[in-house]
Chains A and B, each alone.
Chain A
Amino acid sequence: MSSVASDTKDRSAEPQHGPSFLWRNRFQIAIIGMLVVLYAVFLIGDWRTYTSFDIYRSFMISIPFFGIMALAATYVVTLGEIDLSFPSIYGLSGWAFSAVYVASGSFPLAFLVCILVGVVGGLINGLLVTKIGIPSIVATIGTMFLWRGLVNVLTQGQGIPIAQITGDPWHKLFVGQIPLGGSVVIPAQFIWFIAAALFFGVLFKRHRFGSHVLFVGDDEQSARMMGIHVDRVKIACFVILGVSAAFSSVFLLNQMLFFWATTGDGYLLTTLAAVFIGGTSVFGGKGTMIGTFVGVLIIASLEPGIISIGLSGFWTQFVYGLLITISVSIYALMLKRG
């Protein structure tokens, strides 16, 4: 970071430099640092738990239930928009999956209907925001109640058991256990999560679509003048999140083997927290998929970590809050300097 004073612009001697690798990736480095510190604390606090494979296996089982949504939500947040309805889409598409599976016995059909519900849910959010012109926070409060309410009406509060699904060959594809020798077993859903992270990451930074998302989130007017189809980009982002919610519900249901009317409800804040801890800006135009990925790992490790180092579960929310506040403060300060 050497300052260059050789050029003769009529600006005062403000130092300018080509951004270095470290500077460009300062958000990602900050969050990876946070993960390292956190795990150092956990290792010191409970060496035995954190050196055995079991706890990591349990992470790998539960992370995909909200992690894929966090990756998808990164697109919506990068637009400068927000979606509060995805847990309800999760519930409605999960209901569709369970109901269709019980009625037809066909996993592919149930899966297809489930994804379709996700598409429609995302599409409606996108249309409300772009074509009707409702701010996304308001529009998705509406659809949040709408879809959860619909689930309540459809189920009358009753759950749907789907234990018979374990005999289905498709079941293994989603939540099967992949033995790697010894006690090391990888849950299939974690492979899906990694695949989703790679896909979303490449789409974000190395594809035309991601470039448009960044541009629209940064400056919508400029994007319009540059001929970017702003509405289409926004709708697509909401659909991506809707589909991801639907997809995630399939993992959860196959693991839990039971649909509750409240399925998905608890994932709103943890999902968004992972995005924000990851360093994606709520103002739009800046986002990081690596950040969200690590944010997901942090959020998922906190609760078991807190308990294993000997604190009571009552500490969980407090530590969540502490971490979120500290991380977003660091990012805000970084932005001020940059």
Chain B
Amino acid sequence: MSETEPLLVLRDIRKSFGRIEVLKGVDLEVRKGEIVALVGDNGAGKSTLIKVITGVHKPSAGEIVFKGQPITLKNVQASRLLGIETVYQERALADQQELWRNIFAGRELTRFLGFLDVAAQKRETARLMRSGMGLTSRAITVDSEVKGLSGGEKQSVAIGRALYFDADLIILDEPTMGLSLKETERVLAFVRSIREQGKSAIFIDHNIFHVHDTADRFVILDRGRVVGQFHRSELTHQQLVDMMIALHEAGQVA
């Protein structure tokens, strides 16, 4: 994989909130077709780093290069236009709205003057439900509200939405949190399918086993710094777990 060109490069990214420096110079690379896992304890700066990449936070210093071009992200819209999609931990769905509104929230399909192409939104949602989301239950239709879905189904909608817009980089923030075993398995299969489509992903998960099974590379973050990077072949499950424990206790990678 190392010979393919990098899709995303972060150089010396710093981010402070007031006097608290959350990111203290992070370097990170994501190549095409690669799934990179960000690992680290709470407060390591994972979520902040992700919000820098998606344009939610402006970095205090540092450079972001995407597809070979240095970029500055003004807002979420800007990162989406470039081809960066995010599946947020909070899922970013609206409970009382129909699926066809949720999928296209913020970038509706319109005919003219902003009038919705409802038929197209429903059609595309139905197609996506069958192909991308694996929501084949007859019980759920494009007119269903999100409210009635299970946690796993909601996550499927959030991931399906990210896939629909044909992003090059998909960021998944704790996508398996609160899911049952079976639902988790489906989400991890989704993540692997991202690689099969030749796209890249940044994947955050607290469960080391999920991470080890799914990601190509692990980037270990601790208190705002990258303290280690390993290819999957370099580490076994157990070594990764031991390392995380050592990091937690000693504050450094052995």
**Shortest beta-carbon distance, B88 to chain A, in Å?**
5
Shortest 8 CB-CB contacts between residues of A and residues of B: A16-B139, A18-B141, A218-B94, A226-B106, A225-B92, A7-B137, A227-B76, A222-B92
Residue of chain B at shortest CB distance from A283: B96
B60 within 8 A of A: no
Main secondary structure on B side of the interface with A: loop
- A18-B140 in contact (CB<8A): yes
Total A-B Cβ pairs within 8 A = 105
Known: A222-B93, A222-B105, A227-B106. A206 touches B115 (CB 8 A): yes
**Shortest beta-carbon distance, B23 to chain A, in Å?**
20
B182 within 8 A of A: yes
Which A199-220 residues have a C-beta within 8 angstroms of B? 202, 206-209, 211-212, 214-215, 218-219
Task: List residues of chain A with CB within 8 A of the CB of B182.
Answer: 10
- B143-A18 in contact (CB<8A): yes
A/B interface sample: 20 pairs, CB < 8 A: A7-B136, A7-B138, A9-B137, A10-B182, A15-B139, A18-B139, A24-B143, A211-B108, A215-B97, A218-B94, A218-B96, A219-B93, A219-B94, A222-B90, A225-B56, A225-B76, A226-B105, A227-B107, A285-B97, A286-B96
B-side interface residues, number (CB < 8 Å): 42
**Shortest beta-carbon distance, A320 to chain B, in Å?**
28
- B183-A10 in contact (CB<8A): yes
A27→B116 CA distance, assembly (Å):
23
Task: List residues of chain A with CB within 8 A of the CB of B93.
Answer: 219, 222
A-side interface residues, number (CB < 8 Å): 33
Q: Which residues of B contact A (CB under 8 A)?
A: 56, 75-77, 80, 86, 88, 90-97, 101, 104-108, 110, 114-116, 118, 136-141, 143-145, 148, 150, 152-153, 180, 182-183
A4→B183 CA distance, assembly (Å):
20
- Residue from A16, A202, A208, A218 within 8 A of B137 (CB atoms): A16
A52 within 8 A of B: no
